[in-house]
Amino acid sequence: MRIVAKGLKYVYNPKSPFASTALDGVDIEIKEGEFFGIIGHTGSGKSTFVQHLNALLKVSEGYLKIGEYDLAEKKCNFLELRSKVGMVFQYPEYQLFAETVEKDVAFGLKNFRKELNEEETRAAVKEALETVGLDWNAVKDASPFELSGGQKRRVAIAGVIVTKPEILILDEPAAGLDPLGKKELMELLHSIHGGWCKTIVIVSHDMDEIAENCTRAAVFSAGKVVMEGKPSEIFSRADELLSLGLDIPVTAKCARILQSRGIKIGTDFTCDDFVKQVLALRGKGGERDDE
């Protein structure tokens, strides 16, 4: 399913002294199969935008279509849409509520697919928990509140992917995790991407994370999409990003300094590609264009 938004607008508390425009005409297209990154600092409208994708906020002005679902249409089957577009909120562990991990993960499945029987539900829950790297026998009867922070987050993610959504949206999925936890989470996302989960959209502040993982990305600022493209394209416009108060990946920062010294280096910003490029330069003794 493809996500297409045109002229999407949203105002919080309209017609009150506290009215604030969160989206001011968003145009964006996210194709099936992408691992898409959404960048922007707090208040740029990115969270408001992703909440539209799940129909948690209704389209008030503009056009938004996901596959065949027209979200501006009142008759749109939002429940069905939500089963196909999974949404993992920031700090999702704070939504856990059931007595056992199994019951919590089953919550979404029971809401979306009432036709499943006990065994089918259990099998799906087991699969989801194993997908997120938890030991079924060890956690199924445990209280979600007794688990460690990292485990809680995995349970919460399992609770969303249990319906095998075609599109998975994650708002700051790695926030608050330690470095290894972050790395493992990204590996988890890559492991499901391309299977039943065709498209992944992550909202992230961490530019290194975007550079390492995403196929394409968009930069939000003041309720609009101000840049859209491959990470290498976006991060090669470092000055613009910095002027928006955003960071750039370490690799881009380094490449920028090298370029300013006249060393030609490409703008592919994953760590491994950057290393390759530097090593390739070495052979040529650091190509310089002296002016």
Partner 1 sequence: MMNDVTFGQYYPAKSFVHSMDPRAKIVLSIAYIVAIFLANNFFGLAAVTLFLVIAVAFSRVPAGSVLRSVKMILFVIVFTAVLNLFFYSSSDELHVLVKWWVITISWESIINMIFLAMRLFLLVLGTSVLTLTTTPVALTDGIESLLTPLKWIRFPVHELALIMSIALRFIPTLIDETNRIVSAQKARGANFETGGLIKRAKAMIPVLVPLLVSAFRRAEDLGDAMDARCYSGSKGRTKYKKLTFGWRDAIGLLLLAGLITGVVFLNIYFGGKFAILNYFL
Partner 2 sequence: MEAVHFDNVRYSYREEGGEYAVNGVTLTVREGEFVAVLGRNGSGKSTLAKLINALLEPTSGTVTVFGMDTLDEKKTFEIRKNAGMVFQNPDNQTVASIVEDDVAFGPENIGLPREEIGKRIDFALKAVGMEQFRHATPSRLSGGQKQRIAIAGVLAILPKIMILDESTAMLDPKGRREVMEVVRRLNKEQGMTVILITHFMEEALQADRAIVMHNGEVVMDGAPEEIFARSEELESYNLTLPRAAYICKKLQEAGMSVGNAFTAEELAEEICGSLQKG
**Residue 179 found at the interface with partner 2 (CB under 8 A):** yes
* Phi (first) and psi of residue 253, to 5 degrees: -60, -45
Show the site string, 81-120: x = touches partner 1 by CB under 8 A, - = not. -xx--xx-xx-x-xxxxx--------xx--xx--------
Residue whose CB is less far from partner 2, 194 or 245:
245
Total residues contacting partner 2 by CB under 8 A comes to: 40
Q: Across the strands, what pairs with 228?
A: 218
Q: Can you tell me the distance from the alpha carbon of 92 to that of 160, in angstroms, rounded to the nearest whole number?
A: 10
Q: Across the strands, what pairs with 216?
A: 36
Q: Across the strands, what pairs with 169?
A: 87, 201
Among 23, 39, 52, 54, binds partner 1 (CB under 8 A): 54
Residue 141: both structure tokens together: 């009867």
Q: What is the DSSP string of 223-256?
A: TEEEEEE-HHHHHT-HHHHHHTT----HHHHHHH
Give the three-class secondary structure for 114: coil
Show the site string, 134-163: x = touches partner 1 by CB under 8 A, - = not. -----------x-------------xx--x
Residue whose CB is less far from partner 1, 96 or 219:
96
Give the three-class secondary structure for 42: coil
Which residues, numbered 181-240, are part of the site for partner 2 (CB under 8 A)? 181, 183, 205-208
CB of 50 to partner 2, least distance (A): 16
Q: Can you tell me the distance from the alpha carbon of 115 to that of 129, in angstroms, rounded to the nearest whole number?
A: 21
Residues in the chain: 291
CA 13 to the chain's CA centroid? 27
Give which of partner 1, partner 2, none residue 231 binds (C-beta under 5 to 8 Å, depending on kind): none
Among 117, 279, 289, 290, binds partner 2 (CB under 8 A): 279
Q: Can you tell me the distance from the alpha carbon of 258 to that of 280, in angstroms, rounded to the nearest whole number?
A: 14
CB of 62 to partner 2, least distance (A): 27
Residue whose CB is less far from partner 2, 150 or 229:
150
CB of 252 to partner 2, least distance (A): 8
Q: What is the DSSP string of 257-283?
A: HHHHTTB------SHHHHHHHHHHHHH
Label the pairing between strands 69-70 and 224-229: unpaired
DSSP 178: -
**Residue 263 found at the interface with partner 2 (CB under 8 A):** yes
Among 2, 31, 41, 230, binds partner 2 (CB under 8 A): 41
Letter for the amino acid at 103? K
Residue whose CB is less far from partner 1, 87 or 219:
87
Give which of partner 2, partner 1, none residue 261 binds (C-beta under 5 to 8 Å, depending on kind): partner 2
CB of 275 to partner 1, least distance (A): 39
Binding site residues, partner 2, CB under 8 A: 41-43, 148-150, 175-181, 183, 205-208, 245-247, 249-251, 253-254, 257-258, 261, 263, 271-272, 274-275, 278-279, 281-282, 285-286
